[in-house]
Amino acid sequence: MSTKDLGFVHRFERGENGAPTLLLLHGTGGDETDLIPLARHVTDGATILSPRGKVSENGMPRFFRRFAEGQFDLEDVAVRADELADFVAAARESYGLPAPVAVGFSNGANIAAVTMLRRAGVLAGAALLRAQPVLVPKEPVDLAGMPVLILSGDRDPIVSDYDSAGLAAVLEAAGADIRHETVSAGHSLTQTDVDLLKGWLAGLSLV
């Protein structure tokens, strides 16, 4: 079902007992439905929580503002990450959910990473697809043992593998359990991405 409750327009679909809860975070121009087919393909019976970004860039939804490609409004980034963390907390209480695993693409992956670094207990893990460092924390962050998958493309014209490696280093320094894979791809996702994501999710042990 889609609803405007809890601060974000979002889609919520309750899954099967014992299946993970996924927080789906779309890329620029996407919406709350974009990543649902991917989620259904890579998991069996997952509960889905999928918000729509509240920032509009020329009519395209995003999760935070930017001035140009790769030039981010860092004040807005911080505010929007906190809003997303509050939404997740409200959704967990309203729907009776465990901490979700984020699956984010591009802009959605970036807001997931910032949210983890600002509000460490909000997520149980994250798959960051075509992500880059956006906001480096000024204070130490404890992400000890948090599973994080980072998938970058070796021909990505928007997010270089070097950028993704920089994000991996930031998260690893905070204690996260990082798996960073570079695939033969551009910015768009490929079947290799899908297969790696499916295998990583299957191997998670969430309590």
CATH code of the domain containing 63? 3.40.50.1820
CA 131, CA 115: separation in Å to the nearest integer? 13
- Asked whether residue 207 is domain-assigned, the answer is no
Which residues, other chains included, contact 38 with Cβ-Cβ below 8 Å and sequence gap of 6+? Answer: 24, 103, 189, 194, 197
- Of 156, 164, 180, 193, which residue is the catalytic one? 156
- Residue with the bigger pLDDT between 70 and 130: it is 130
Question: Number of folded domains in the chain?
Answer: 1
Q: Is 187 a catalytic residue?
A: yes
Choose among 172, 162, 155, 101: nearest CA to 131.
Answer: 162
Residue 70 is assigned to a structural domain of this protein: yes
Domain assignment of residue 111, given as a range: 2-202
Residue 120 domain-assigned?
yes
pLDDT-based confidence at 2, cuts 50/70/90?
low
Measured CA to CA, the distance from residue 167 to residue 132 in angstroms comes to 6
Residues in the chain: 207
The pLDDT of residue 66 = 85
% pLDDT > 90, the chain: 84
Residue 156 is among the residues annotated as catalytic for this protein: yes
| Catalytic hit among 106, 163, 180, 193 | 106
In a domain, 146, yes or no: yes
**Span 64-93, mean pLDDT?**
92
- Structural domain includes residue 58: yes
Mean pLDDT of the chain: 93
124 assigned to some structural domain: yes
Q: What 3-state class would DSSP assign to 47? A: strand
pLDDT of amino acid 207: 47
Q: What are phi and psi of 148, to 5 degrees?
A: -135, 125
Residue 54, both tokens: 């509240």
Which pair of tokens denotes residue 175?
């204690």
**Which single residue is written with the structure tokens 């910032």?**
114
Mean pLDDT over residues 21-42, rounded?
A: 97
- The rounded distance, in Å, linking the Cα atoms of 135 and 53 is 18
- To the query of whether residue 106 is one of the catalytic residues in this protein, the response is yes
Asked whether residue 130 is domain-assigned, the answer is: yes
